[in-house]
Amino acid sequence: MTSHQPQASHHISAPASPAAVACPVCSIETVPHDVVDFSKNCEEARQRFLPLAGWPIYYHRCPDCGFVLAPEFRQWSDQDFQQHIYNERYAEIDPDALSKRPAANADLLRQLFGGSHKEIRHLDYGGHGALSGALAEQGWDSAAYQPVPHDPQRLADLGKFNLISAFEVFQRAPDVNQLMQNLAALMEDECMVLFSTLLTDGTVKPNTRLTWWYAAPRNGHVSLYSRQSLTLLAEQHHLQFGSFNNGLHCLFNQLPAWAARLLTPKQT
Ligand SMILES: [Zn+2]
């Protein structure tokens, strides 16, 4: 009668449960949401799959604010990121990063603010120079800054800006509070930060697997934000948060006049 009951095995042992991880935004305990292979990358949206790496990456979700993080990357050094993510093969899983995306984003900034560019001191946070170079060619005061490796002196030497762009940067931050502190330190009293990252709202939900293409450890997408988590982060750093759409957002202290025009409903 016992022949169909599973036998206790001496060959396997129960693995450890995922460790408890506090939400870096609202401090309550997150729930382990899913585990994916390290090779999961954004190009899977275009049917490009890498061989499995055999390296499980856990993503946790905050049940309160909706922030999603892969806690493992908080232990990584800058060198670890260089070796495993931003290495010589990175372009294969982010082919638009080198020129297509910077060119499109330079166009966007020109469309939004081109008429006011003489009043703008611009920093492309996380940019490697293509975007700021394209703007500088057209007479903008524009610089680029790479936040890795973290260097407080280099950050302080940059000065302050009234327009900061951070395209596809937020989801790469293993420490979101460090990111917010860095940005706040670079902001003039009247400054807008324009940034892109896709929101988890409506996509990463309880009782669903993490199939979303944007949750991609191979691309360094280690922090995924909900609207609520960005609102809370802004408040904690004495900033205001707004969204233009699901992918394009802004933070500001006081809006410069040329930016206020963008956010104020047009008079009819
Ligand atoms: Zn939270």
Distance from the alpha carbon of residue 175 to the mean position of ligand 1, in angstroms: 14
- One digit per residue, the tens of pLDDT, for the chain of length 268 reads 445 555 555 677 777 788 899 999 999 999 999 999 999 999 999 999 999 999 999 999 999 999 999 999 999 999 999 999 999 999 999 999 999 999 999 999 999 999 999 999 999 999 999 999 999 999 999 999 999 888 889 999 999 999 999 999 999 999 999 999 999 999 999 999 999 999 999 999 999 999 999 999 999 999 999 999 999 999 999 999 999 999 999 999 999 999 998 776 655 4
Cα Rg of the chain, angstroms:
21
Question: 159, 96, 162: which is closest to 131 by C-alpha?
Answer: 96
For each of the domains in the chain, give its residue range(s) and CATH number, in order of start. 31-263 (3.40.50)
Distance from the alpha carbon of residue 24 to the mean position of ligand 1, in angstroms: 7
- Residues 246 and 161: their CA atoms lie apart, in Å, by 25
Distance from the alpha carbon of residue 235 to the mean position of ligand 1, in angstroms: 13
Q: How many CB atoms lie within 10 A of CB 55?
A: 13
pLDDT given at position 1: 47
Distance from the alpha carbon of residue 30 to the mean position of ligand 1, in angstroms: 7
Distance from the alpha carbon of residue 32 to the mean position of ligand 1, in angstroms: 13
Distance from the alpha carbon of residue 230 to the mean position of ligand 1, in angstroms: 10
Question: 174, 175, 42: which is closest to 97 by C-alpha?
Answer: 42
Distance from the alpha carbon of residue 27 to the mean position of ligand 1, in angstroms: 6
Q: How many CB atoms lie within 10 A of CB 56?
A: 13
- Residues 183 and 249: their CA atoms lie apart, in Å, by 14
Asked if 135 and 120 touch (Cβ cutoff 8 Å), the reply is no
